Amino acid sequence: MEYHLTFKAAAAKDLYKLTKKNRELGKLLVHEQIPELMQNPLKGRLKQGDLKGIRSWDFGFRDVTYRILYQVDGATVRIYAVGAHDVAYRKAKSRK
């Protein structure tokens, strides 16, 4: 199945800020992590509680664990937040 990627406006801003501050992280996100997520978005861990229905794609970069928090709705993958662990969860809760 082919999926279509969308971003909440605030999540696109998260991605922009991360890539502006650290080009290596930006390349990893844009060229590796997001394309891998789009190949199999159901692979991400399904969250519970406040983030019920949201999935978490986890990856590490320079000893920091980052999260891409997103929702799969049919053939659409909508990204809610991108960032370091706690920051990403806090942002996703406020954007859901």
- pLDDT band, very low/low/confident/very high, at 1 (cuts 50, 70, 90): confident
pLDDT at 85: 79
Average pLDDT over residues 63-80: 91
Domain residue limits at 69: 4-95
Q: How many domains does the chain have?
A: 1
For 8, phi then psi, to 5°, come to -65, 145
| CA–CA distance, 54 with 93 (Å, rounded to integer) | 10
**CA dihedral (33, 39, 45, 49) positive or negative:** positive
pLDDT at 19: 82
pLDDT at 15 over 90: no
- pLDDT band, very low/low/confident/very high, at 72 (cuts 50, 70, 90): very high
CATH of the domain at 68: 3.30.2310.20
**9-21 vs 85-95: helix axis angle to the nearest 10?**
160
**CA dihedral (39, 42, 43, 47) positive or negative:** positive
